[in-house]
Amino acid sequence: MIDSGVAAPAPADLDADDPLAPVRELFDLDDDVVYLDGNSLGAPPRAVAERMRHVVREQWGRRLIRAWSEGWWDAPLRVGDRIGRLVGAAPGQVVVGDSTSVNLFKALVGAVRANPGRDEIVVEASTFPTDGYIARSVAELTGHALRPVPPDELAGALSERTAVVLLNHVDYRTGRLLDAAALTEQVHAAGALVVWDLCHSAGVLPVELDALGVDLAVGCTYKFLNGGPGAPAFLYVPHAAQATFSQPLTGWAGHREPFAMEEGYAPAGGVGRGRAGTPDVLSMLALDAALDVWDGVDLRDVRAKGLALTALFRAAVEDLPGIGVLTPADEWRGHQISLRHADARAVVGELVERNVIGDHRPPDVLRFGFAPLYVRYADAQRAAEVLADVLRTR
């Protein structure tokens, strides 16, 4: 590390000047716990529990089936627009429902159908496992070849055979952030379409889907968007692609007239054609309540704090014995720090016993996710101190 000769601000001073500090008060958190696993499951906003009591007692309990026409049925599109604001999508281009895996299946099949005459699907070589599983399934079902390619080699690997490229905006294991603008341009230059997985970037990075000309995107809502365990995922289909977007799961919710009960399938107009089955209302409305914490939040503040939190933590732990750092030191990282240690599972277990919660990925990776809406600089410092003590006493 380079010593600049200037003392870094103390975490307490940074917390005092943090523009996001008031947002933390909107979460139900235990001050005795340092929670650094928001990249797996976000913390619950306080308002969610009361909102769900209202949904169960009043909407479901009193309004009963009438609630479907009083907001339930349209929730996937209304909540989708709220997420759209956080990923750079104009209204009418994001729909919420199903899981990330299901939406990824829709997106990949839709992309293959939109780009006929090409017989190859390219996936990032280090892709999140379920993305690889789904891509392989789509390739087998559509008769396409599946080819894993490292992102750094993408430009030279694409050809007239490539129909679609699937990329993860942030690598789940290392925290590396890909250059979405440059890679989208490379894919388009080859005549292919791109599908971005935003699971580890939605809610922490100022994603600009419309501005980048992204073809399709998917993402989950239970990580940095704090939607709760099993919260529904989202699918982005830009206006220009909606009229021809042909997704394979033609369930009744995506029908033009779902309550007409017609024998034949006719897709809905707009992004609603990305829907499949009946929306899971309770999870959907819990997510809707959780998204209230984003009202008035500037994603530039979120990104700035995320970079500062991860820099503070990284600087404090990178020289600890037995530790290797996987996450890039420059700004090309998401809001997590991934470390390597031979006994990663045991180390994470000891950290959890001391109320510092991160997670482990086999065989030797420790992951610490920094959600700027509720993680404080003092939390980053405490986590580093506890990790140092755990390693010192092993």
Q: What is the DSSP string of 122-191?
A: EEETT--HHHHHHHHHHHHHHT-EEEEE-GGGHHHH--TTEEEEEEESB-TTT-BBP-HHHHHHHHHHTT
Question: What is the H or E stretch that residue 288 is in?
Answer: helix 281-290
Active-site residue, from 27, 105, 128, 224: 128
Active-site residue, from 222, 224, 374, 377: 222
Active-site residue, from 24, 82, 273, 367: 367
Is 63 an annotated catalytic residue? no
Active-site residue, from 106, 176, 223, 273: 223
Active-site residue, from 37, 131, 197, 359: 197
Is 222 an annotated catalytic residue? yes
Is 28 an annotated catalytic residue? no
Is 136 an annotated catalytic residue? no
Is 223 an annotated catalytic residue? yes
- Please enumerate in sequence order all residues whose Cβ is within 8 A of that of 18, keeping only pairs 6 or more positions apart, or say none: 305, 376, 377
Check: CB of residue 69 under 8 Å from CB of residue 62.
no
Rounded CA separation 367/318 (Å): 13
Q: What is the DSSP string of 206-273?
A: ---HHHHT-SEEEE-SSSTT---TT---EEE--HHHHTT---S---GGGBSSGGG--SS--BPSGGGG
Rounded CA separation 63/76 (Å): 20
Supply the residues annotated as catalytic: 128, 197, 222-223, 367
